[in-house]
Amino acid sequence: MDCKIVTISGDGIGPEIVREACKVLDKVAQVYGHSFHYKEVLMGGCSIDAYGVPLTDEALNTARESDAVLLGAVGGDVGNSRWYDVAPNLRPEAGLLAIRKGLNLFANIRPAYLYKELSGACPLKKEIIGDGFDMVIMRELTGGLYFGERHTEEADGVLQATDTLTYNENEIRRIAIKAFDIAMKRRKHVISVDKANVLDSSRLWRKVVEEVAKDYPEVKLEHMLVDNCAMQLVMNPGRFDVVLTENMFGDILSDEASMITGSIGMLSSASLNESRFGMYEPSHGSAPDIAGKDLANPIATILSAAMMLRYSFDLDREAEAIERAVQKVLTEGYRTPDIMSEGCTRVGTVRMGDLIAERI
Ligand code: IPM
Ligand code: MG
């Protein structure tokens, strides 16, 4: 297979983790007889430095014309970077929101899986961890509070800021369908998370999700209020299979879910549109404090590359080869600093990439 991949290394640890993911993809190409062609485009702080904006139209178009996008991370140290001395729509993260919207990547899939080898790093008690957990957060990514109208005004000397949360039924339906489709390939259980006891948008969410559920009689649907969900994630994580939720709730819950896996450095993600096109990125940020020091964990990005093979290129066997290689390296006791524990072998970013590539 011949695939055009746009890479967006971005800022902070972005370049070094994307480099390792490409190393692993190149090994897959060699072993399974594919060709992956990469084209790098700028987004985030590095694009601000080069062009004055976090995402140029040209970069967006290059991404649009590719088969898939592999992203590292964007952004810097908010308190301590010139990238944040400008209007919000010109800051690094605005590039990320613009590419999500511009490519219509409405379905954000964030798996949270506890590797047995890392259960020591899980902050939950053993009796709560039980047999571990394996869930997928399906987060709506191009609507809600993130993209609603917003403004700040001053009236009679009092500052007032407004953000709006709007969803239409079509936006809810298409993400719900993705969640049920994924549930069919898993344990057939969807928990739809909302705040229907307060918000109109959540009441509509519930109604539409129930309609979609009728087309999936094999899938069990439960509704859960978002505050209860935040609690259940740390009380009984094993009960979750597919969590379906809107943009802002998904942002918060996916960080919570990732933390109970032991390290945010392990979590991959995929953002998909209606077709097979997607953008793949680790769930973590750009970690400027450790950038360029060979300390970053490249596994989340490498697993994101595996998701790219599975969802955009239909290369399941190759995706599994990457996932198996990651599992093997962990079983053999290799750890980057963020997941290091006693008796294991500490390795850097580059060595971790080499070890995984060697096992493909
Ligand atoms: C995420 C991040 C982004 C978000 C930020 C960087 C805008 O937290 O991908 O979860 O809020 O969506
Ligand atoms: Mg987030």
How far, in Å, CA of 143 to CA of 235, rounded?
30
| The token pair that represents 102 in the structure block | 């511009």
For residue 144, the Cα-to-chain-centroid distance in whole angstroms is: 18
Q: What does the pLDDT look like over 41-65, one tens digit per residue?
A: 999 999 999 999 999 999 999 999 9
Rounded to two decimals, the pTM is 0.94
- pLDDT given for residue 288 in this prediction: 95
**Protein residues with CB under 6 Å of any ligand 1 atom:** 93, 96, 251
- pLDDT given for residue 137 in this prediction: 97
- pLDDT given for residue 121 in this prediction: 87
How far, in Å, CA of 56 to CA of 48, rounded?
9
- Catalytic-residue membership of 146: yes
- pLDDT given for residue 2 in this prediction: 96
Reduce the DSSP state of residue 160 to 3 states and report it: strand
Ligand 2 centroid to Cα of residue 310, in Å, is 23
**148 burial via Cβ count (<10 Å: 0-12, 13-18, 19+):** middle
Ligand 1 centroid to Cα of residue 193, in Å, is 19
Reduce the DSSP state of residue 146 to 3 states and report it: helix
- Catalytic-residue membership of 194: no
- pLDDT given for residue 345 in this prediction: 97
Ligand 1 centroid to Cα of residue 41, in Å, is 20
Residue whose CB lies within 8 A of the most ligand 1 atoms, among 78, 96, 268, for a mutation test: 96
Ligand 1 centroid to Cα of residue 282, in Å, is 11
The half-sphere exposure of 192 on its side-chain side, counting CA atoms within 13 A, is 27
Residue whose CB lies within 8 A of the most ligand 1 atoms, among 251, 258, 283, for a mutation test: 251
- pLDDT given for residue 360 in this prediction: 97
- pLDDT given for residue 100 in this prediction: 97
- Catalytic-residue membership of 167: no
Spell out the per-residue pLDDT of the chain, length 360, in tens.
999 999 999 999 999 999 999 999 999 999 999 999 999 999 999 999 999 999 999 999 999 999 999 999 999 988 878 899 888 889 999 999 999 999 999 999 999 999 999 988 899 999 999 999 999 999 999 999 999 999 999 999 999 999 999 999 999 999 999 999 999 999 999 999 999 999 999 999 999 999 999 999 999 999 999 999 999 999 999 999 999 999 999 999 999 998 899 888 899 999 999 999 999 999 889 999 999 999 999 999 999 999 999 999 999 999 999 999 999 999 999 999 999 989 999 999 999 999 999 999
Largest CA distance in the chain: 68
- pLDDT given for residue 212 in this prediction: 98
Q: Which of 115, 167, 194, 195 is catalytic?
A: 195
How far, in Å, CA of 337 to CA of 299, rounded?
12
- pLDDT given for residue 88 in this prediction: 87
DSSP E strand boundaries for the chain: 2-10, 35-40, 68-73, 107-113, 134-140, 150-155, 158-163, 189-194, 220-225, 242-245, 270-272, 278-280, 334-335, 345-346
- pLDDT given for residue 78 in this prediction: 85
